[in-house]
Chains A and B, each alone.
Chain A
């Protein structure tokens, strides 16, 4: 039964349905048609049909089901006309295609399809940059041009990554499924890594069209929320909290001129307190599950920072302890470095310098500019200007263009 369509433009309705439903419809069409490209074409044709038919017949009661059914029939029609593809249709997909009443309306099934799509786009058998590009394209619905602009990569490169990834999914037969219990942990890690990569591309954007790149952080947060909604695993919740906490402090991270502001100098009144409170609740839920991982601990650390009314009252003992937990979960020299800084804040700069020197002596972070920058900062606090300058110079030699470099140059000039 068509809904009472006031002459409020059908085009507008189609537009808003496209934004709300196109990814869901695509996710289901991929399952039913067994091929990304065929499904995308079907999605396109379904919306073309909607634009033609809805002004005449009214917007259907369940637009999503209408779009899925229409898309599937259009695709079958087209494939039947291409005899070559009849061969390809002889496998298990033929069953789904042949059944016009195949589960379209069940909301649960549709949400499963979105999870299938996420796990398939983030399959570890695909190259990491292809996972990111494919996820942005298929799950978030960004165009190739938008992805290219945000990644600072040429559009043809991005397009080729996506084409190759789809070819691998088809040729190696990467299944369109949510991994079973045994694999879920490892596969979820891959999904979370992709989402965090997307977030950081936006958050750490130091060059290029900063505005476009910031959109990537928003896209990653939307992805994180979708994932938590579909699969509320403690680490997915932890990652969402971590992104929300970073994002809540975004405005204070840089000056309007794009210069970096260190945490202790940031204007805390500009932080998004409501978002921080939301994120803190997520952190607590994740930790309370007892099945938390590195993302939840990182979020807990960020929450301690975010909840401190001013830099001086930061609970450094708690932060140093959380870094200890993080080191046990995922040992890395970078985490050790962060722990060293927290210990310096708790016990005094000398304790931190001793730890950083020990890390640098092992040679692991010798080429990591932040190790030298952190050492420089601790020397500066002790008034050891000569040593501070030497470390600032080492850090500068390892830093590219952008705000980080300007920040270090400013500190070097001041010490």
Chain B
């Protein structure tokens, strides 16, 4: 089963972090990614640019309209994510608790679901699943 681990961090704290600490944190993340690949938990991971770089797109009546930035004024913003493969929630929690930036903010663990069409379940992330569905 797949789980999305959303990492929420205070961007101001992140921006104020000395370069040396930031380097060390990033290195820990890269090492952690390798560990997850080795243990078979790794599916995908990204670190994100600050929330201010967001563009929000809404399509209404077939027309996209664009607005700047995030909608919320909360202190902690999504700063990155992991998609992991885990047996169950307990295993996902154990993996998420080891995320190097977890001590700095909040990690939300959320189960992924399949996209069901006509009683057949497709993995949203699977390219071959998409092709089979299209054909």
List the interface of chain A (C-beta within 8 A of B).
84, 87, 123, 125, 171-175, 177, 179, 183
Q: Which residue of A lies closest to B113 (CB)?
A: A171
Residues of B close to A172: CB separation below 8 A: 89, 109-111
Given A171-B111, A173-B1, the answer on whether A84 and B89 have CB atoms closer than 8 Å is no
Per CB-CB distance, the 7 closest pairs between chain A and chain B, nearest first, are: A175-B88, A173-B88, A172-B111, A172-B89, A174-B89, A173-B1, A175-B90
Interface positions of B from 53 to 109, Cβ below 8 Å from A: 87-90, 93-94, 109
**Min CB distance, A27 to chain B, in Å?**
18
The reply to whether B121 and A183 form a contact with Cβ atoms under 8 Å apart is no
Residues of B close to A174: CB separation below 8 A: 88-90
Residues of B close to A177: CB separation below 8 A: 90
What separation, in Å, do the CA atoms of A177 and B89 have in the docked complex?
A: 11
Interface residues on B, range: 10 to 19
Given A171-B111, A173-B111, the answer on whether A87 and B90 have CB atoms closer than 8 Å is no
27 CB-based A-B contacts, threshold 8 Å: A84-B119, A87-B119, A87-B121, A123-B89, A125-B89, A125-B93, A171-B111, A171-B113, A172-B89, A172-B109, A172-B110, A172-B111, A173-B1, A173-B88, A173-B89, A173-B111, A174-B88, A174-B89, A174-B90, A175-B87, A175-B88, A175-B89, A175-B90, A177-B90, A179-B90, A183-B90, A183-B94
**Min CB distance, B128 to chain A, in Å?**
19
**Min CB distance, A287 to chain B, in Å?**
31
Interface string of B120-133 (1 = CB under 8 A from A): 01000000000000
Residues of A close to B1: CB separation below 8 A: 173
What separation, in Å, do the CA atoms of A168 and B86 have in the docked complex?
A: 16
What separation, in Å, do the CA atoms of A123 and B90 have in the docked complex?
A: 10
A to B contact number (C-beta, < 8 Å) = 27
Residues of B close to A183: CB separation below 8 A: 90, 94
Residues of A close to B89: CB separation below 8 A: 123, 125, 172-175
Q: Which residue of B lies closest to A176 (CB)?
A: B88
Q: Which residue of A lies closest to B88 (CB)?
A: A175
**Min CB distance, B53 to chain A, in Å?**
31
Q: Which residue of A lies closest to B94 (CB)?
A: A183
What separation, in Å, do the CA atoms of A173 and B1 have in the docked complex?
A: 8
Q: Which residue of A lies closest to B116 (CB)?
A: A87
Residues of A close to B88: CB separation below 8 A: 173-175
**Min CB distance, A176 to chain B, in Å?**
9
What separation, in Å, do the CA atoms of A382 and B88 have in the docked complex?
A: 61
What separation, in Å, do the CA atoms of A314 and B94 have in the docked complex?
A: 47
**Min CB distance, B69 to chain A, in Å?**
31
Residues of A close to B87: CB separation below 8 A: 175
Residues of A close to B110: CB separation below 8 A: 172
Residues of A close to B111: CB separation below 8 A: 171-173
What separation, in Å, do the CA atoms of A268 and B21 have in the docked complex?
A: 63
What separation, in Å, do the CA atoms of A237 and B50 have in the docked complex?
A: 50
Residues of B close to A87: CB separation below 8 A: 119, 121
Residues of B close to A171: CB separation below 8 A: 111, 113
Q: Which residue of B lies closest to A124 (CB)?
A: B93
What separation, in Å, do the CA atoms of A125 and B3 have in the docked complex?
A: 14
Residues of A close to B90: CB separation below 8 A: 174-175, 177, 179, 183
**Min CB distance, B95 to chain A, in Å?**
13
What separation, in Å, do the CA atoms of A85 and B122 have in the docked complex?
A: 16
